[in-house]
Chains A and B, each alone.
Chain A
Amino acid sequence: MWYNVDMPKQITLQEAADLIPSWSSVFIGGFAHIRACMAFSRELVRQEKHDLHFVSSGPTVHSDMLAGGNVVSRMEIAYGGIETIGPGPNIRRRVEEGDLQIEDYTNFSMTMRLYGGAMGVPFMPIKSMLGSDLETKTTFRSKAEKLALVECPFTGELVCLVPSINPDFGVIQVQRVDTEGNVQIDDALTSDVDGLKASDVKIVLAEEIVSPSVIRRNPKNTAVPGLMVDYIVHAPWGAWPTAMYNFYDYDQEHIEYYAKQCKTEEGWDEYMKEWVTIGEVALMMKIADRMKALKARKGLGY
């Protein structure tokens, strides 16, 4: 057996969540209806983490769950809702009660802030956010920290500069990773790849861990080279109830049930007892029937 110091370490879901101390900043992947780090977020709730600084573009059910579990106290995001449903019920309640602060950006500006972080440059120029209240109003950042309006030194055109960002931890859930940490994603990359690359410690959760030969057969499909990745976790069905293209569809019925349930604090407590604190193994047993219905069909991928 040969040993490569660059090899990422394979750990369990519990160990991965345990790496993240309270008060740290995190990028946790997932966008709209796909690839949300649900299992990982449930584990953060179970481990009673608190005061995380959450960074993402358009996160979905997982960010709402983290708000419900009081895991996050600050968010820099573009979207705090669940598509087709509306505002995330827990996010909405926490903000309205003053327990959670959101610094509003846009999907593009957050993605560029992460991309800037990944490339090691201090800011990125963009042409949106100008003229709106996103430009003028802030919550926990000062206006000078949120963005800067400058004239281009070459053309004089007005541009908006957004500060790059390097979260302490980056976590994404993907289709496959190999033992060397090479990541392959089968559907649209959203901002997951930029978010992971921007983060200091990179954790990849995957539906399957494959041998490097599988990845190296299709190197064009590799979204993140393994030499950047620190930890890998085998987490099948880890995005449920959101979708993992080629593996399973989203569970809209459950997402709607979640949104309805979490409208009140009591409802969230009930949901948490029933679907979160029971642990992943018990949860998987509980949804075994649903899994059959959600399993991706050949030729469709959903």
Chain B
Amino acid sequence: MAICGARLIWDGAIVFAGTGLPVLSSVLAQNTKASNAKIIYEGGNIDTKNKDLPRSVSDPRLMLNCAAALDIRAALGEILQGGYVDIGFIGGAQIDRYGNVNSTVIGNYRHPKIRLPGSGGANDIASLAKNTFIISLHEKRKFVKCDYITSPGHLKGGKTRAKSGLRGNGPKYIITDLCIFDFEPRTKKARIKSLHPGVTKRMVLRAMRWRPIVPWKIPVTKAPTKQELQLLREKVDPKGVYLKE
């Protein structure tokens, strides 16, 4: 999953990495084909080239070799809202068919069943980046209608996002451990783009509560190469910060 995320980052892209797996994918991308990708973290570390993997979006590890250590106003305001960011990369607890993401509550907002961390910078990233990538484990409880929309995707599909006053094109991909989704250009509904090796349509559809667009022919995601796996396990995350399983 982390490798799929990394492969979708093109060289030279300016990437805003949200907390969790996006950090791993972004750092991996920088170590593979997108060596000129510039990574921004909301705490204020800009264009980082860290040696050790950060645990969070404001980690002292990001200081080593970064181009600038500024503040949230510069990162989220001047760079993100200013229109520099090509890819905003976030995770989330619930994801709907239009790529809207919930990371705030499960259940009723005022009387929640589960209180989650909340937006952090995710709403800002999803609102303002030119493209959003969403990365998440593929589970039935996660691919549902959102109880609360923390980070806006294509909202209700069609042109609703543009009408709400948001900038950026919204979600481009959802990357899971089973497949990659993109979005049908007119309706903005999620569509299976490729299935990971060994995964069937049935497996994907059984692990979610909404139905994506399922094309007749779906290509298979290229399997991770030995080099990619070795790089991920030995160089990028040797201590297993994100690779716990």
Chain A residues close to B by CB (< 8 Å): 31-34, 57-58, 77-81, 83-84, 86-88, 91-92, 95-96, 98, 102, 104-109, 111-112, 115, 126-134, 137, 139, 149, 157-160, 186-191, 193-194, 243, 245, 249-250, 252, 296, 300-302
Assembly CA distance A58 to B77 (angstroms): 15
Which of A104, A107, A249 is the most central at the interface, judged by chain B CB atoms within 10 Å of its CB? A107
- Distance from A78 Cβ to chain B, minimum over Cβ atoms (Å): 5
B198, CB-defined interface residue at 8 Å: no
Contacts of A250 in B (CB 8 A): 55, 59-60
Instruction: Find out whether the CB atom of B60 lies under 8 angstroms from the CB atom of A78.
Output: no
Name the B residues within 8 Å of A249 (CB-CB). 60
A58 to B155, CA, bound (A): 25
In the complex with contacts A80-B117, A81-B117, A102-B118, A188-B58 CB distance below 8 A: yes
Per-position binary interface string of chain B over residues 205-245, scored 1 when its CB falls under 8 Å from any chain A CB and 0 otherwise: 00000000000000000000000000000000000010000
A107 & B63 in contact (Cβ 8 Å cutoff): no
B interface residues, Cβ below 8 angstroms from A: 19-20, 41-45, 54-64, 69-73, 76-77, 80-81, 100, 104, 109-124, 127-128, 148-152, 155, 160-161, 164-167, 241
Central interface residue in B43, B45, B113, B241, by most chain A CB within 10 Å: B43
Tell me the nearest residue of chain B to A126, going by C-beta: B81
The 15 listed contacts between A and B (C-beta, < 8 Å) are A57-B72, A83-B19, A84-B56, A87-B117, A91-B115, A92-B115, A96-B113, A105-B119, A108-B121, A111-B71, A111-B76, A111-B77, A189-B44, A191-B71, A302-B61
**Are A129's CB and B127's CB within 8 A?**
yes
B219 to chain A, nearest CB (A): 32
Q: Is the CB of B71 within 8 A of A106?
A: no
**B115 near A34 (CB under 8 angstroms)?**
no
Is A112 a contact partner of B124 (Cβ separation < 8 A)?
A: no
**Known interface pairs A128-B123, A187-B69, A243-B60. Does A84 touch B165 (Cβ–Cβ under 8 Å)?**
no
Residues of A within 8 A of B42 (CB): 58, 107
How far does the alpha carbon of A78 sit from the alpha carbon of B58 in the complex, in Å? 15
In the complex the two chains form, is A132's CB within 8 Å of B123's CB?
yes
Most buried by B among A91, A104, A158, A250: A104
Q: How far is the CA of A105 from the CA of B76 in the complex (A)?
A: 14
Tell me the complex Cα distance, A71–B123, Å: 28
Complex alpha-carbon distance, A158 and B163, angstroms:
9
Bound state CA distance, A299 and B152, in angstroms? 41
A133 touches which one: B60, B128, B150 (CB < 8 A)?
A: B150
Given contacts A131-B165, A133-B104, A190-B43, 14 further A-B contacts (CB under 8 A): A34-B60, A92-B115, A106-B120, A108-B124, A111-B73, A127-B128, A130-B164, A131-B164, A133-B148, A134-B150, A187-B69, A194-B73, A243-B60, A302-B63
Q: Given the known A-B contacts A83-B19, A159-B165, are A31 and B113 also in contact in the complex, defined by CB atoms under 8 Å?
A: no
Residue numbers in A under 8 Å from B76 (CB-CB): 107-108, 111
CB distance from B201 to the nearest CB of A (A): 31
Question: Is B81 in contact with A33, judged by CB distance below 8 angstroms?
Answer: no
The 4 closest A-B pairs by CB, nearest first: A81-B117, A158-B165, A188-B44, A131-B164
- Closest beta carbon of chain B to A131's beta carbon, Å: 3
Which listed residue (A186, A190, A296) contacts B72, Cβ 8 A?
A190
Residues of A within 8 A of B73 (CB): 111-112, 115, 191, 194
A280 to chain B, nearest CB (A): 23
Q: How far is the CB of B225 from chain A (nearest CB, A)?
A: 27
Which residues does chain A contribute within 8 Å of B166, judged by CB atoms?
Answer: 127, 130-131
Chain A residue with minimal CB distance to B167? A127
